[in-house]
Amino acid sequence: PRSVLFVVTDASAKDARLKYAVARYLRSKKIRLFAVKVGRMCGRRYRREFEFLARQTGGRVLRFRRRVNFRYLMRFITKAVYGKVAFNSMPSSGARLRRLRPRCPADYYKLEETVRVCKCSNGTDQTKPPPRVVGSLAFTIDNTGSMWREIRAVKTNIKRIVKANRRFKDYVIGTFNDPYRRKVIRSRSAYTILRFLK
């Protein structure tokens, strides 16, 4: 429940006809889908299946026309897992992502006034509620040869994301290709994830 799934690909779905079943499954598991479309979306005719799934699950769709902008997505995710921005504030283009200003995530509010806080002798803040750690942060990545830049960006930033995380209990990483072979791992360890992506 309350998981976030990023699908990163530069190709349309071969089984787009299953989008209704996929949407029902994601909603039943309370998973929000965020699709990241890279480049021209090659393959069969694109029928906006990712837009449909994102709309049905409360997610968003981001389009990168320039692959070099992918690093801005990883920076955004790092801020989101820490709680600095809401996942739903993800814009629809790489250019807008670069100019994005932080927005308070759900269940947070911006504090404008200065208040005095009582601290214990050990210096801990007793008024600050513990962060809610629920669900999984998941990446499903197209690992065809044309996606090597995006895979490298995930490898480069995964340690930073794990270190910053205050919202998810673990991580799920899956890769897919053509033909499809199931390759998925679930872990809390950045080292395990990096070994999986090699």
- What does the pLDDT read at residue 111? 47
Task: Give the largest Cα separation in the chain, rounded.
Answer: 64
Question: Residue 45: which residues within 8 A CB-CB, separation 6 or more?
Answer: 12
Separation between Cα atoms, residue 185 and residue 101, nearest integer Å = 33
| Domain ranges across the chain | 3-106+131-197
- What does the pLDDT read at residue 52? 94
What sign has the CA pseudo-torsion 151, 152, 157, 158? Answer: positive
pLDDT in tens, the chain (198 residues): 589 999 988 888 888 889 999 999 999 999 999 998 887 777 667 778 899 999 999 999 998 877 667 788 888 999 999 888 889 888 888 778 877 765 555 555 554 444 445 555 555 444 445 556 789 999 888 887 777 778 788 888 888 888 899 899 999 988 888 767 778 989 988 888 888 877
Alpha carbon separation from 135 to 25, 109, 155, 186 (Å, rounded): 16, 22, 22, 12
Q: Global pTM?
A: 0.76
* Per-residue b or e along 24-46, where b marks 16 or more CB atoms closer than 10 Å to that residue's CB: eebeeeebbbbbbbbbebeeeeb
> Is residue 64 within 8 Å of 38, Cβ to Cβ?
yes
CATH classification (class only), 3-106+131-197? alpha beta
- What does the pLDDT read at residue 31? 94
- What does the pLDDT read at residue 114? 44
Separation between Cα atoms, residue 176 and residue 161, nearest integer Å = 22
Name the token pair of 181.
Answer: 């072979």
